[in-house]
Amino acid sequence: MEIIFNGKPREIQASISIQEFLDQLRLDCLQVVVEHNRNIIPRQRLAETVLNRGDTLEVIHFVGGG
């Protein structure tokens, strides 16, 4: 199924959790913040939040800036 991940369409397995998705991408959940359909998902809820077709997912982290 397809979701919109960081602004681009992406094929993922059906009914995986956000935590599983981050694990597949080797992203450390302690280093990122996740927005799911414009709602910020607290870290402790990443494993229980399941992705659905057409969902929008933003995965944000800190970079250098002024």
Partner 1 sequence: MDKLIIAGRSFTSRLMVGTGKFASNEAMVAAMEGSGSEIVTVALRRVDIDNPRDSLLHHIDPERFLLLPNTSGARDAEEAIRLARIARAAGCEPWIKLEVTPDPYYLLPDPIETLKAAEVLVKEGFIVLPYINADPVLAKRLQEVGTATVMPLGSPIGTNKGIRTRDNIAIIIEQAIVPVVVDAGLGAPSHAAEAMEMGADAVLVNTALAVSRNPGAMAAAFRKGVEAGREAYLAGLGKQQDKAEASSPLTGFLGQ
Of 53 and 60, the one with the shorter C-beta distance to partner 1 is: 60
6 burial type by CB count under 10 A (0-12 exposed, 13-18 middle, 19+ buried): exposed
Among residues 4, 27, 47, 50, which is the contact residue for partner 1, using CB under 8 A? 27
What φ, ψ does residue 23 adopt, rounded to 5°? -60, -40
Q: Tell me the closest approach of the beta carbon of residue 51 to partner 1, in angstroms.
A: 16
Positions touching partner 1 (CB under 8 A) are 6-7, 25-28, 31-33, 35, 38, 40, 42, 58-66
